Amino acid sequence: MRTILPSFLFGAAALAAAIVAGTGNAVADAPTPPPQASPPPNLIVIRTFGFVPANITVTSGTAVAFRNEDTTASHTVASTTGAFAPQFLGYGMVFSVTLVKAGKYPFNCSDAPYMKGEITVTGGSASSPSP
């Protein structure tokens, strides 16, 4: 019985060392992710309960995209003047809007109204004043 117990413990220790060593190699061999492309200049990102950037200026007919990168919540982007219909965005979802009339288009998150921003459109015909 005495010789079996030390042999068993030695074997268990060797197995544990092999598992740890194997785990280390698996982490070291993980592929490197590709570099991230720069976001387009007319992209508004939703992150940490805010719009980044909150204000953007584009020329008439230019698409503005909203992308939700907030991992903790979904958001609903809404025009406060009715310029576009509210759009629900879960994590990773994208919504684009193209505005052609010159003017200011305020927006917010209808689920968290303190999240605010504004799209300013230049060129094109003038829109009705924003309230």
| In the chain, domain spans | 1-30, 43-122
For residue 64, pLDDT beyond 60? yes
Phi, psi for residue 62 in degrees, rounded to 5 = -90, 135
Helical (H) or strand (E) element with 103: strand 103-109
Mean pLDDT in residue range 58-71: 96
Asked if omega into 53 is within 30° of 0 (cis), the reply is: yes
Q: Is the pTM of this model over 0.75?
A: no
Q: How many CB atoms lie within 10 A of CB 29?
A: 7
- Tell me which CATH code domain 43-122 carries: 2.60.40.420
Total number of residues shown for the chain: 131
Please name the residue that has the structure tokens 């544990």.
Answer: 16
Q: Which two tokens stand for residue 45?
A: 């990102």
Q: Indicate the DSSP class of residue 53.
A: S
d(CA 36, CA 38): 6
Please name the residue that has the structure tokens 């992150």.
Answer: 47
The string of pLDDT tens digits covering residues 66-117 is 999 999 999 999 999 999 999 999 999 999 999 999 999 999 999 999 999 9
Q: How many CB atoms lie within 10 A of CB 49?
A: 14
